Structure 1
Amino acid sequence: MQQQLDYQKKKIKRLQAKNLFLKKKVAGLQEILESLDEKALIDKEEKMVLEKIGVEEAELIKRQLKKCKSGKLSRAKYSPELRCFALTLNFYSPKAYKYVRKTFGTCLPAPRTLTKWYSNIDGRPGFTKEALAALKYKADANPHSKIYCTLVFDEMKIKTQSHDNPSGDRRFGYIDYGFDLITDNTDEATDVLVFLLVGINTPWKVPIGYFLVKGTSAKLKAQLVTKAFELVHETGIEIKALTCDGAKANLAMATELGCCLDANKLQTTIVDPTTGQRVHFFLDPSHMLKLIRNTFCDYKCFFDENNEYKIQWSFVEALHKIQEDELFYMANKLKANHIYYKTKIMNVRLAAQLFSASVADALLFCEKELDLPEFNGSTATSKFISLINDVFDILDSRSRQNGYKKALNCENFEKAFRKMDEVQKLLLSLSTNVKKRNGESRKIKLLDSPRYTGFLGILIGIESTKSIFQDLVVQNKQNDLKYMPLHRISQDHIELFFSVVRSHGGYSDNPTSSQFEAIYKKILVNTELTQTGKGTNCIPLEKITILNCSSALEKINASTVRQYNSNDATDEVDFTNFTDDLIDEIEALTFLSPFAEKVVEYIAGFVIFSTKKKIKCNTCIKGLLGPIDEKSLVHQKSKGKLLYASKEVILLCRICEKEIRRHLSDDNKPTRSCTTHEVVTRSLKKFIGKDLFPSISYHSHENDFTNHNLELARLIMQKYADTRISFLMKKADPQKCIRQIYRKLIHFKNQ
């Protein structure tokens, strides 16, 4: 109860802060409009329009009005907002930009003007002077506060296509490290190495350079990183973290820069000899999570030194199998894609959903509550999955989150450090059996196995997190950083940058070196690009709103005439035996396993959660809620926010489920007759002559024209049937998804 109150208080506080911000914003806009109105600079109609639109639309409309009055366009400079809008639209589609420009009376800049803006940027390989100059300007604009950032670098595959410039002063498609002279190097570049800066205490990111390469050695990467440290330090901005993926060359580069990557004596702080600044080395946690998933699947079993603590992949497969057989997910997202992940091996979301608290809870519930024999001994596996989930949340923490996902601060860092120490101790003790070339297997430490990178990366992240938190938050004398959002140290930002580059090519997401240079220049000029999830390994979160309107809901709310209190006389009547008799009578129709029964109860809780928000009748709401059941899946998953359904609601959902299963095809797909209307109609026929809600039976006669009990039952069944049928229709066979395989073969052929 206390947790729920704290959650509501925090929610109210956030809403109040958001409301205050919006009021100030509206007040500022209103003052500007009132001033324009008093000076007779705009008409009343123009004022009404400007009150409803944003800055970009306002600037465009102003230019259109001036053109209509004078017959020609104004020579005034374009505003920054309109420049951003024009550059963004032209970046995504030049044809769409020409159409929009023509539609709005050529009030937008001409394509030639946009080209002139681009031509001012030197987008050649090497470190970009314009980006460094922008960083220096940003640092000079804030002389009293330091700006901390993360240096992230990664490689992107490009198409090997070489050609010479007609003027003869440049060669495209060859290895290029940014030197101005023309070389005779005939090796074609296969990758582009990009360096990106991401703000830690301020929200910004900017690419500072790229290089055309064909494989890079650890020594070369160390030299480029050291040069980046030096150039960024000259701008007045401090680099506090260095992030990359777990390639062997990157690990060797870290050793070259002074790190010690021995798991038993880690030292992950880099001291730059030219600037003297301390930089903390990180391996991207998302990549490490995928590597741990791959190792877990291939090695099948981990155990401690005494062979007592066994972690087995077979339990994950057993959970997937029982969920597929029962046509239910036990409050988790484990699907065939998570088991047969190799067709989508780069997808981070699949690895994160496998190592999740929901999967750990499901394994524990199957062993402890359902007592299923195939899950005996799964406690260790459940704990391992839970620990990996918690440490990943810490290493990818953000502001405005809860639990371990919340950014580290002076209030929660001790709890997070204890959890990281627990994970560190576990990873150092785990062993596995590795097969030799002769077929024999031997027991070795996971950190000594050929697949050690993912586990070492987590240990490096733990050590670097502790040191950077002490450096920037605890020991920071200026105290200008109150919390540490570790998501700003991840590689997600450069992956989204690559996504923008790939999306510019349309169907061809593998650009040539000259195409990459052109896109790079556009991105440097452009500041308003929307992050797209297509063509990248990480995606931005989306808010999805589902609108639902039910005739049963309208009937209940339209005929609500009386409110009942909890002390009604009918509350004292015991209807337990009546409900149990009805359950026994219905039970003979179709059989549901104990696993399915528990999941139906859980879905029933979701049904009343959705229904309760829309119903205005207090008596109907009272018939939906049931007592706390400590053996239910709801209790296992609840953190004070989930609702328990009454026996009547669970019975309605159970009958609805059985009716759905009677109309499934051999491959467990809904047939044409399995629609929400048909399922609800057939299910309600089973209750003819019976009381649907014995605890509020008096309520069925309260209204002259509407039977609330009947409409409430229909509303519950509609919601349940919609949920289940939608789920069954979306099921697909991921093993047939071979598009990703061919895509990678094309990009990485002969590699």
Structure 2
Amino acid sequence: MLCMLLHIRSPSGNNFLNKNNILPLPSISSIRRYLGLINMTCGFDPSFFVLLKKHLENKTEFQKHGVLLVDEISVREAITVCSKTLTYRGLLNHGEDYKATNINEKATSSLVFMFQPLADSYSQPVAVFASRGPVVGTELAKLIITCIILLEKAGGIIHGIVSDEAQTNRKMWAELGVNGHIDSFQNWFHHPLDDDRKIYAFSDTPHLFKNIHGQHIQWQHIKRLYEEDVKLTGNLRVCPKLSKNHIVLSVSDKMRVRLATKVLNNSVANGFEDCEPTAMFCRKFNDCFDALNRKFGTEGLRFLQSFLIWMNDWEKQLINDSTACGLRVTIQSTLDLSKYLNSCWNFKYLLTGKINQDKLEMFFGIIRQAAGSNDYPSAPTFLQLSKLLSTYSILKLPKSENCTKNSGINVMINVMINLMINVMINLMINVMINVMINVMINVMINVMINVMINVM
């Protein structure tokens, strides 16, 4: 499996190591043959959940608690034929319940479910679906309920679902009874297996921050601040984090979370004078982003409570009503889940940085990077790679600890580390052998010369 991952990441590197006898790697034809054995069926795989159950049996009680991440990725239309089953791959497929009826129903997006533990460092993709366009909200709600049931039966303890602000996800919220409006607010729905438990809804925090706009909060203030700040001599700037890239935004730059969070920042707020609403806006959302992305057990809940009150009073200033609802639901769910875990499961704190789609985006990034830059992988390629990475992350042996690593980035990191170690060992062995051979040759030459001199 490591050899397949290495070939996917760098075919030329694989060929170099093989041709120079640095590592005994399988041939390209062997790797392709093994890749062809991967089961690319969509939906919930019963065999996978059997493996997941065995995997979770080795975890502590705290490590079994988690949330379900939900997101979609666009894929290119493509079809391949499985020679063994004589079936097409790359068509619409939601599992056994809903499949394509003709060859024209080619998949254009893939839906992925991922289990994210709240007290562990790994993340595990659990299901992949191929669809033509985004999965409709009604069908998505059914799939989420099914996934929660299967994860609970496998030993996981699910407390929430995390999605972005797509319209299909908002429809899914409505189907499950989640509502972010003040007059009919509800941030949870009943657990499908236990009426005494709740499943909390969360919006992905980075997506929320990309969609925040205001009426009285003027972008011209930030632009004017940058223009005056760059005029200062000696690089003694008031707002060093603010650059031209933050002011002159392309279409793609408007979707970059890093740029948004550096604008909504305390250092930018400190640079304003006579623009208090804009400064307060930056400070509030800087602190809110930090509170919703905690990686360590520090204070953050108290600020979220005050921020929720401030946001309810300020909601009319938001242009995007969906953003206000998503932010309100996410903050209230964070507060409620923290209290619930503390009172019922003895959690000392909740790391809010676990409740976003970062690990799922990393997973998508690994697949996009496979075999070079591939921003829009074909549907069969995405299904094949996602199955390979998902299976590897659950089967690989842990190293000196009782958990697996991140399913995406660390798979490739482990491959490269193992590769570098093996290469260094082989190089050292080759160097030592060459040194020994040279020493022996020199000794033999000296002996022969001495013998010839003595004979003469």
- TM bucket, shorter chain: 0.7 to 0.9
> Residue 183 of structure 1 aligns to a residue in which SS?
coil
Q: Is the 8 A contact 1:194 1:209 kept in 2?
A: yes
Q: Is the 8 A contact 2:80 2:380 kept in 1?
A: no
> Residue 126 of structure 1 aligns to a residue in which SS?
coil
Distance 1:170 1:217 in 2: 26
Q: CA deviation at 1:207?
A: 1.0
Query: What amino acid is aligned across from residue 286 of structure 1 in structure 2?
Result: P
Q: In percent, how many aligned pairs have the same letter?
A: 23
Q: CA deviation at 1:134?
A: 2.9
Q: Which residue does 2:421 correspond to in 1?
A: none
Q: Which residue does 1:283 correspond to in 2?
A: 203
Distance 1:110 1:423 in 2: 58
Question: Pick from 314, 319, 335: which aligns with 2:225?
Answer: 319
Q: Which residue does 2:191 correspond to in 1?
A: 272
Quick one: structure 1 residues 398 and 264, their matched pair in 2 at CA, closer, same or farther if it must change by over 3 Å? farther
Q: CA deviation at 1:163?
A: 5.2
Q: CA deviation at 1:346?
A: 1.7
Distance 1:161 1:119 in 2: 16
Q: Is 1:430–2:314 an aligned residue pair?
A: yes
> Residue 134 of structure 2 aligns to a residue in which SS?
coil
Q: Is 1:515–2:381 an aligned residue pair?
A: yes
Q: Is 1:194–2:112 an aligned residue pair?
A: yes
Q: Is 1:123–2:123 an aligned residue pair?
A: no
Q: Which has the higher contact order (CA 8 A, sep 6+)?
A: 2
Q: Is 1:395–2:273 an aligned residue pair?
A: no
Quick one: structure 1 residues 130 and 394, their matched pair in 2 at CA, closer, same or farther if it must change by over 3 Å? farther
Q: Which residue does 2:277 correspond to in 1?
A: 380
Quick one: structure 1 residues 338 and 452, their matched pair in 2 at CA, closer, same or farther if it must change by over 3 Å? farther
Q: Which residue does 2:130 correspond to in 1?
A: 212
Q: CA deviation at 1:145?
A: 5.3
Distance 1:168 1:116 in 2: 15
> Residue 389 of structure 2 aligns to a residue in which SS?
helix
Q: 1:275-307 CA deviation, whole Å, 9 max, x = no partner?
A: 444221100010000001xx23xxxx33xxxxx
Query: What amino acid is aligned across from residue 9 of structure 2 in structure 1?
Result: Y
Q: Is 1:241–2:149 an aligned residue pair?
A: no
Distance 1:145 1:358 in 2: 38
Query: What amino acid is aligned across from residue 304 of structure 2 in structure 1?
Result: M
Q: CA deviation at 1:385?
A: 0.8
Q: Which structure 2 residues correspond to residues 722-733 of structure 1 after superposition, within 5 A?
A: none
Q: Which residue does 1:475 correspond to in 2?
A: 343
| Greater Rg by CA | 1
Distance 1:273 1:283 in 2: 21
Q: CA deviation at 1:143?
A: 6.7
Q: Is the 8 A contact 1:244 1:491 kept in 2?
A: yes
- Structure 2 gap segments, 5+ residues each: 394-404, 411-456
Q: 1:669-728 CA deviation, whole Å, 9 max, x = no partner?
A: xxxxxxxxxxxxxxxxxxxxxxxxxxxxxxxxxxxxxxxxxxxxxxxxxxxxxxxxxxxx
Q: Which residue does 1:335 correspond to in 2?
A: 243
Q: Is 1:231–2:150 an aligned residue pair?
A: yes
Q: Which residue does 1:658 correspond to in 2?
A: none
Query: What amino acid is aligned across from residue 385 of structure 1 in structure 2?
Result: C
Q: Which residue does 2:400 correspond to in 1?
A: none
Query: What amino acid is aligned across from residue 333 of structure 1 in structure 2?
Result: K
> Residue 242 of structure 2 aligns to a residue in which SS?
coil
Q: Which structure 2 residues correspond to residues 252-263 of structure 1 after superposition, within 5 A?
A: 252-263=171-182
Quick one: structure 1 residues 113 and 167, their matched pair in 2 at CA, closer, same or farther if it must change by over 3 Å? closer
Q: Is the 8 A contact 1:118 1:521 kept in 2?
A: no
Q: Is the 8 A contact 2:269 2:283 kept in 1?
A: yes
Quick one: structure 1 residues 383 and 106, their matched pair in 2 at CA, closer, same or farther if it must change by over 3 Å? closer
Q: Which residue does 1:419 correspond to in 2?
A: 303
TM-score (norm 2): 0.78
Q: CA deviation at 1:349?
A: 0.2
CA RMSD of aligned residues (A): 2.7
TM-score (norm 1): 0.49
Q: Which structure 2 residues correspond to residues 21-170 of structure 1 after superposition, within 5 A?
A: 84=2, 86-109=3-26, 118=35, 121-142=38-59, 147-162=64-79, 164-165=81-82, 169-170=86-87
Query: What amino acid is aligned across from residue 141 of structure 1 in structure 2?
Result: N
Distance 2:289 2:59 in 1: 33
Q: Is 1:456–2:362 an aligned residue pair?
A: no
Q: 1:479-517 CA deviation, whole Å, 9 max, x = no partner?
A: 2x3321111110111111110010014233211111112
Question: Pick from 262, 266, 279: which aligns with 1:357?
Answer: 266
Q: Is the 8 A contact 2:366 2:409 kept in 1?
A: yes
